[in-house]
Structure 1
């Protein structure tokens, strides 16, 4: 019986996260209140407070729930040889995580100003920096840093930018990966060319 109560609390927590994220994306983080979240859920503010005291707590929980798979991917990348094929495989796996968290990344894209001021923004930035670091070659040129950063950020912003372009999401992700691979390859080969 105890697990049923725990399961219900987990389901409620998930519902709160889902509804809050929908509202954050629809109206923006700043314009969404806890009252609106409670109303959309059809619960009292007191019931909402039982799980989350602030809307930032909700946002932190959303990122925390998605951090574990990304941290595991970063750890995998750090344990691999610094080859172009490893980096491409990393990006393939990264795209799968983006697909699973597309609404959250859309929120980040549309709420960049707020992200700078929230504690979760620093956590997000540090993971992006760690990911860029994995994709760089030793002693990259400034241009190669730009290529790698652009390769990663194009995956983040690409689906948002392509939302009105004809084609299904898989085709769009494939096209974004192709462009990211081109940039990654140029950065990887640029470093080899400098070392030769």
Structure 2
């Protein structure tokens, strides 16, 4: 079993679609895959969450969502405001370790230091001995956000597997074109993927067929 943790430089950078692409690529290679979303926020019971988007795009993937909170806030804040329980680090780690799939992907919420409970995704990665994939934005501001994220991960003694640009535009501007060269230079991490803007709107079949073109975490 291989465990991979996916975080972002911030919220809304494309973590879920990048997670789906990694899962689709692995399934196309004949591997079994489970995607774990410890905490989903801003989604009511019965509404579509991140884990549902992964299932829609990737046939054959197993998905696990441990808890969801109604308000679109950091999970620990959302839990306290709703009166719902906080997740524990042991619970998340235990669920991941009990999985039997070839590839276990744990997708965080927001950035790597966002509190999921009284812990962060970085703590999860460290406990599991798993590398982290960082999903980054393509445009202005991404160099600073990406370098800060990579430095925090490496300072904790966790491996950065690489960077994925979560949404690459059809017509990139000057900053975006420069960032393709500058991101590896300032972070020391290689770019292992780039997801075309709008990929999440594709059919599951087309998404899965094209995912291998977009990401290569190996």
Tell me which protein shows more helix as a share of its residues. Answer: 1
TM-score range (shorter-chain normalised) is under 0.3
Higher relative contact order (CA 8 A, sep 6+): 2
Task: From the CA coordinates, give the structure whose radius of gyration is larger.
Answer: 1
TM-score (norm 1): 0.25
